[in-house]
Structure 1
């Protein structure tokens, strides 16, 4: 079988599974539009014709040859089941096949949310406080059943300093993450909260009137320190828009009523750990940003920003 024929067969199997979970009288009427921006999953929008002649969209999320697909989809399905009625704008779960029992690959079907990801520099002054307030609302959730405990994979031995980086700053940063993490009370974490996973409605004539319409990609939902989520969004903003915006988000989270850490040293530890984690995956992170239109974010440019951000953290908080 050719690769093209195999891809067609996979598509037909998956669409057959989708069809079994549509409402009575619904049918798929358009092509399946690929949604860009994901790193590990394929995302497609499916357009449906409803029984009364209307149109609605669903989103199909598929993991192809991904080792932890079952765990990620099971966690995402659990989160999407929890979130309705909480005030956190998230997709609603339609169906999930985490073990590929009926689909060719592990898949999840969910409702489609209005809005779009915004990675441009324009309007940051408005969007950063919105992101901070949204993250505080996520951390305020108290589910009856906690998701699994957080994990951090980056260690002092796995960090890869960029070529030409500030050696003293990176050595000091690496020292910060040596040893075990401080104990914490724990909160509900998105665990991959950043601008690429947040949808906005931005009126063309009034960027200052932007509002959040959805938060997506709940596959890494965990229970742990709020500083982890703050650090991850801070690092993404630093690489997308410059180091100052990473520091600004951490401050905006506190201004919104969030508590990123019990002590200043703990706060620094999470910020540094997440920043250093990017040293291991600059290429995989920057590629989707370029595909989304940020062609200025070459691998070299992102590495330079990462070095500047790590240096800024150590100069400001170290």
Structure 2
């Protein structure tokens, strides 16, 4: 998702009283919030884990998502309603998504538009170590998401960039980038629609990893369904590919589409159609490189400066344009 960064004031604060009271109304009798913890790595939403004291003396965790900056608040009604609908749908499938507890998309009761959901075990894995084992897992999970058949289709996918809004980074081959931009000036290829996550990437996937055994990782959850959509499988694959290229290097971005097909996924048959979706997503990232790099540094990848991410993006776009599609 796109938009401004969250407020530093809100990051430092506890859950606002209005929001806390709203959460309380959706707890079981005798339960109460006894702890909060900020969850890092997001760009547009403030995420908090809430520790809930339960009646038998133990605790359980919930997750609170709140949109707090003006851009996100403007879009919150759509995003939160879509996420609520997606979580309700996925509760009947084998996709490991949170369960919806409550949603206040217009801040009728909360300080900010908010959604409350169950907490999933596991953690995001963004380091290079173990990526070779995780890519096939990501691919298989995405194939499973695309196999979901909703009774009512979600909204059609949104275009995140146009040929006129691409930001060409300094120091790149402008001729090659101009050629890439020309690719997305053409009409979108025809496609067979699928249920899309629309923001599927390593930062939105939770893993459990046995101690000292990165190869034994398994996926425990997929989060952030606020832009769930209907569209081509290629689009979700392209988005994860771009993120893998920026996190781990262009070769991993190129590898993901292969892994997706190896897992049984079906992509566009024509090379030029595949290229269209992959280039479109790579170019869309050009507008958000700074915020993406910042979120990854906050999550522990301190070497991923904005310049380093720009260089990887340039290398990835170049590899796409130089490759067979």
TM > 0.5 between the two?
yes
Per the alignment, do residues 42 and 8 of structure 1 end up closer, same or farther by CA in structure 2, a change over 3 Å counting? closer
Q: Is 1:226 aligned to residue 221 of structure 2?
A: no
Shift of 1:228: 0.5
Shift of 1:314: 0.9
The alignment partner of 2:191 has SS state of coil
Shift of 1:54: 1.8
Q: Which residue of 2 aligns with 1:94?
A: 101
Q: Which residue of 2 aligns with 1:166?
A: 173
Q: Is 1:289 aligned to residue 293 of structure 2?
A: no
Q: Which residue of 2 aligns with 1:265?
A: 272
Per the alignment, do residues 94 and 315 of structure 1 end up closer, same or farther by CA in structure 2, a change over 3 Å counting? same
The alignment partner of 2:50 has SS state of strand
Q: Indicate conservation of the 8 Å contact 1:26/1:51, yes or no.
A: yes
Q: Structure 2 CA distance, aligned partners of 1:210 and 1:10?
A: 33
Q: TM-score, normalised by structure 2?
A: 0.94
- Matches of residues 143-154 of structure 1 in structure 2 within 5 Å? 143-154=150-161
The alignment partner of 2:198 has SS state of coil
Q: Structure 1 CA distance, aligned partners of 2:14 and 2:52?
A: 21
Q: Which residue of 2 aligns with 1:137?
A: 144
Q: TM-score, normalised by structure 1?
A: 0.96
Q: Is 1:14 aligned to residue 25 of structure 2?
A: no
Deviations 1:60-115 (A, max 9, x none): 00001322000000000000111113110010000000011101110000000000
Q: Indicate conservation of the 8 Å contact 1:37/1:288, yes or no.
A: yes
Per the alignment, do residues 4 and 297 of structure 1 end up closer, same or farther by CA in structure 2, a change over 3 Å counting? closer
Q: Which residue of 2 aligns with 1:27?
A: 32
Q: Structure 1 CA distance, aligned partners of 2:268 and 2:159?
A: 16
Q: Is 1:109 aligned to residue 109 of structure 2?
A: no
Q: Which residue of 2 aligns with 1:209?
A: 216
Q: Is 1:44 aligned to residue 51 of structure 2?
A: no
Shift of 1:183: 2.0
Per the alignment, do residues 211 and 10 of structure 1 end up closer, same or farther by CA in structure 2, a change over 3 Å counting? closer
Q: Indicate conservation of the 8 Å contact 1:10/1:104, yes or no.
A: no
Q: Which residue of 1 aligns with 2:308?
A: 301
Q: Which residue of 2 aligns with 1:62?
A: 66
Q: Is 1:182 aligned to residue 189 of structure 2?
A: yes
Structure 1 unmatched ranges of 5 or more: none
Instruction: Indicate the larger mover: 108-117 or 261-270.
Output: 261-270
Q: Which residue of 1 aligns with 2:4?
A: none
- Alignment RMSD (CA, Å): 1.6
Deviations 1:180-239 (A, max 9, x none): 101222000000000000000011211110000000000000000011000000000000
The alignment partner of 2:136 has SS state of helix
The alignment partner of 2:286 has SS state of helix
The alignment partner of 2:323 has SS state of helix
Shift of 1:296: 0.6
Deviations 1:43-63 (A, max 9, x none): 000001111222110000000
